[in-house]
Amino acid sequence: MSTSIQHIVHPRGDDKSFLSSGGKSGMAISIAFTSLATIFVFARVYTRAGIMKRMESNDYMVMIALAFSYVFMAFYIIEALNGMGMHGADIPPPILLKQMKAFWITIPFYNAALLCAKASILLQYFRVFPTRRMRLITWVMLGILGIYGSWAVLSGFLNCIPVAKFWDKTLEGYCLDEKGLWFSNASMHITTDLVILIIPIPALSKLDLPKRQKIALITVFALGGFVCITSICRLVALKKISDSTDPTFDNVGAASWSAIECNVGIICACLPTLRPLVSRIVPHLLSTLSSRNRSYGNRRFSHGRPPTYWGGGAGIGTVSTTITAMDDLEFGSHCADSDRVLTLVPEADIHGKEKLVLKETKCMEDAAERVRATAGSSISP
């Protein structure tokens, strides 16, 4: 055994819990990213419940994802305190048993946390882009997540029959092929990350917005690409541990990237919802950035408001307003009870092409009626 590798050993009570340098760094990474995800989820809940006075299924789903992430972190810490990052030969059997039991329970909760974060993003798409095509795509993706997610979680719990064979290979029974299971789940996570990243781009590209603002809006949604990067890094780490002859020593990298991946997924699910909070904390920042793009043709909007389309075409009897801010997508206006939907308006632009606009009912209709009445009274003799 090489003497250059030093381990930090901390006695705890009658039993000795072994915290190696690798386990210590991995534990710090897990705590740091879980704490960061917690901050973003709390910011999202405050934005939705406190500022916008509206909580929806996608908000509750990301809260469930955070709860699963906490369970993952708790058992990750148990792993770290029981020899993760140490050579297997240096770990007493009772300590190794604790580590393997903790490792067993982290697998399904990692999958559950990541899957709930993805479901939150898809439910957000479902509400923000309720066109028929987008809803169909979203339902299909939710179905895929439900099927493969159920398999990922159940196969994590029931990797071996009996379950105890996972940490005691001497027992009679059957275990799934670990390499095949790890790599198939990792590939599915990467694939679904990419699909979720691509889904909103066609809809966002059709928005009737200035080019800079459209790019900024797409960028907000594209931040989910960070999850793809962490998923790929985790896949590389899985390759290392799958080829390892000393898995307790080499598991730190894969476990750390698992902690990063599920928490980054939660953070990315929260990012598109936080514009109203940022606007409240730093009111001049976003107004300054958006004021550069408030032009339509060669005209400026009156009082910084976008142009509206009254009537527009057959069957369109409500006001359709172009989206000019992320909080419009997230119910950021004062019309808290309005039913906002994105819809394609036939032959709405100067080229005769369909245009995706934000269509509002009830609250905006009432406001439009008041504007018409005011305008009529002001020009009447």
Where does the chain hold its CATH 1.20.1070 domain(s)?
19-280
**Which run of H or E residues covers position 177?**
none
d(CA 32, CA 76): 13
State the distance between the two ends of the chain, measured CA to CA, in whole angstroms.
Answer: 99
What the block records as the tokens of 328 is 């419009």
Confidence of residue 141 (pLDDT cuts 50, 70, 90): very high
Of 12, 1, 71, the residue nearest 259 (C-alpha): 71
For residue 205, what are the contacts with CB-CB under 8 A and spacing of at least 6?
A: 214, 218
Could you check whether the bond before residue 11 is cis, i.e. omega within 30 degrees of 0? no
Q: Is residue 310 over pLDDT 50?
A: no
- The confidence score (pLDDT) of residue 79 equals 93
**What value does the mean pLDDT of the chain take?**
76
CATH code given to domain 19-280: 1.20.1070
Position with higher pLDDT, 187 vs 42:
42
- The confidence score (pLDDT) of residue 211 equals 73
Residues 19-38 have a mean pLDDT of 93
d(CA 121, CA 129): 12
- The confidence score (pLDDT) of residue 163 equals 92
Confidence of residue 348 (pLDDT cuts 50, 70, 90): low
Q: Is residue 154 over pLDDT 90?
A: yes
pLDDT in tens, 69-127: 999 999 999 999 999 999 888 899 999 999 999 999 999 999 999 999 999 999 988 88
